[in-house]
Homo-oligomer: A and B are copies of this chain.
Amino acid sequence: MNAEIIAVGSELLTPQRIDTNSLFLTGELNNLGVEVTTKCVVGDDYERLADTVRRAIARSEIVLLSGGLGPTEDDVTREAVALALDRKLVFHPEISDQLEHRFRQTNRKMAEVNKRQAFIIAGAEILPNDRGTAPGQWIDESNVSIMLLPGPPHELKAMFTRQCLPRLERLVPKQVIRTLVMRVAGMAESDLDQAISPVYKKYSNPVTTILAADGDIQIHLRARCTSEAEARALLAEVAGPIELVLGDRIYSRNGEPLEVTVGELLKKRNATLAVAESCTGGLLAQRITTVPGSSNYFLGGFVTYTNRMKIDWLGVREETLLQHGAVSSETAEAMAVGVRRRAGSTFALSITGEAGPEPAENVPVGTVYVALANDTGCQVVHRQFLGDRARIRSFAAQMALDLLRKKCTQLAV
């Protein structure tokens, strides 16, 4: 079965806003085995929206509209869908009463204009909205199911999950959809694709999607089958050869990010971690601490943004900085060793580099040194990254986490 999604609202046609409801809806529909074939964004324009709805119901079995159910004259979804279906709008006094009750509960008086939200397309089922004032609507027209959903994401998600999903599950032929997400660090997207495309290109099921961002690549495999066992077997058939090709560069087989993988490895070894950052300015510590429960293994970190702080806080020797510079292998090592001593941690990571935009100290922009200290010593890795300040910082933090991952799993760096 095919679906189309229509997002309504002139604010979604500005350079600042994007319709993200459709990503949630697409994920949910795909999980049912329904493909999305077209997505549209239409402004608050009655005629144009009616035209768009007419086209959608002529060629798809499921049509979802989001937004345009508010109380003001800008909100034209009810009227436009009624026009497209050539049905009447019917005033429901019980909805109007519920709205008035809702307003009274918060000591406000309902404006007359809110009564517009009590109009329902003739023959539609009302979808209650427990998170907002706009009720949704479900309409069956010949072989097409049409859903009118509110625009605010938390209202839309709750209504779709509670009201639409059970109805769709009865409607859509039963399928099993299973997704496997592998994540890879330290590879360029083109190199990865060249390595694994001979494997996945042979299969249209599972569908393979590759997503890359700042040194982190996700490989999504989505299988659509008639049974759980078949889906698992199909995923294993494709994932197996991919794992053989990529080996230890895969750090996650369940979609979790690198900071979660590293956290699991540290917990398993009863190990602790502390960090010292220069160019990343706290980004590494911030990533590590996004993980709930990270306080079980992460002790703390230093952001030493000046030479003075590197000396005073981490015990880097002044002559190391003078002789080799703040961005050097020697300084990275002294930072890691220094923070490890001060924290008493099992491991310590340090990052020093030049994130730009202007180079300092005769070091080219993009130069990064990462050091990892433990009780047996300290290793330092040097990389040269391309890109702007944000990208260099992201790559540096990713590289540091991956270095620790490899140490924990005793991989060669």
A-side interface residues toward B, CB under 8 Å? Answer: 11-18, 20, 23-24, 26-27, 30, 35-43, 45, 48, 51-52, 55, 59, 209, 211, 218, 220, 275, 277, 280-286, 288-290, 292, 294-295, 298-306, 308-309, 312-313, 342-343, 356-358, 389-390, 393
**Residue in B23, B37, B282, B286 whose beta carbon sits within 8 Å of that of A18 in the complex:** B23
**Is B281 a contact partner of A288 (Cβ separation < 8 A)?**
yes
**Is B38 a contact partner of A40 (Cβ separation < 8 A)?**
yes
**Is B292 a contact partner of A389 (Cβ separation < 8 A)?**
yes
**Is A209 a contact partner of B14 (Cβ separation < 8 A)?**
yes
User: What is the CA–CA distance of A20 and B15 in the complex, to the nearest angstrom?
Assistant: 9
The residue in chain B whose Cβ has the minimal distance to the Cβ of A11 is B209
The residue in chain B whose Cβ has the minimal distance to the Cβ of A207 is B14
**Is B30 a contact partner of A38 (Cβ separation < 8 A)?**
no
User: What is the CA–CA distance of A30 and B14 in the complex, to the nearest angstrom?
Assistant: 8
**Is B17 a contact partner of A312 (Cβ separation < 8 A)?**
no
Contact partners of A11 in chain B: CB under 8 A: 209
- Given A13-B26, A15-B30, A48-B37 in contact, is the A306-B300 Cβ separation under 8 Å? yes
Contact partners of A342 in chain B: CB under 8 A: 312-313
What are 13 of the A-B contact pairs (CB < 8 Å)? A38-B48, A40-B40, A275-B303, A280-B286, A281-B285, A281-B290, A285-B303, A289-B303, A290-B393, A295-B305, A298-B305, A300-B302, A301-B305
What is the CB-to-nearest-CB distance from A363 to chain B, in angstroms, rounded to a whole number? 14
**Is A289 a contact partner of B282 (Cβ separation < 8 A)?**
yes
- Given A11-B209, A17-B211 in contact, is the A313-B292 Cβ separation under 8 Å? no
Contact partners of A37 in chain B: CB under 8 A: 13, 42-43, 45, 48
**Residue in B16, B59, B390 whose beta carbon sits within 8 Å of that of A290 in the complex:** B390
Contact partners of A30 in chain B: CB under 8 A: 14-15
User: What is the CA–CA distance of A193 and B16 in the complex, to the nearest angstrom?
Assistant: 18
**Is A299 a contact partner of B290 (Cβ separation < 8 A)?**
no
Contact partners of A358 in chain B: CB under 8 A: 292
**Is B286 a contact partner of A286 (Cβ separation < 8 A)?**
yes
User: What is the CA–CA distance of A288 and B281 in the complex, to the nearest angstrom?
Assistant: 8
User: What is the CA–CA distance of A27 and B283 in the complex, to the nearest angstrom?
Assistant: 30
What is the CB-to-nearest-CB distance from A241 to chain B, in angstroms, rounded to a whole number? 22
**Is B15 a contact partner of A24 (Cβ separation < 8 A)?**
yes
User: What is the CA–CA distance of A298 and B279 in the complex, to the nearest angstrom?
Assistant: 12
User: What is the CA–CA distance of A37 and B15 in the complex, to the nearest angstrom?
Assistant: 12
**Is B283 a contact partner of A286 (Cβ separation < 8 A)?**
yes
What is the CB-to-nearest-CB distance from A68 to chain B, in angstroms, rounded to a whole number? 14
Contact partners of A298 in chain B: CB under 8 A: 281, 305
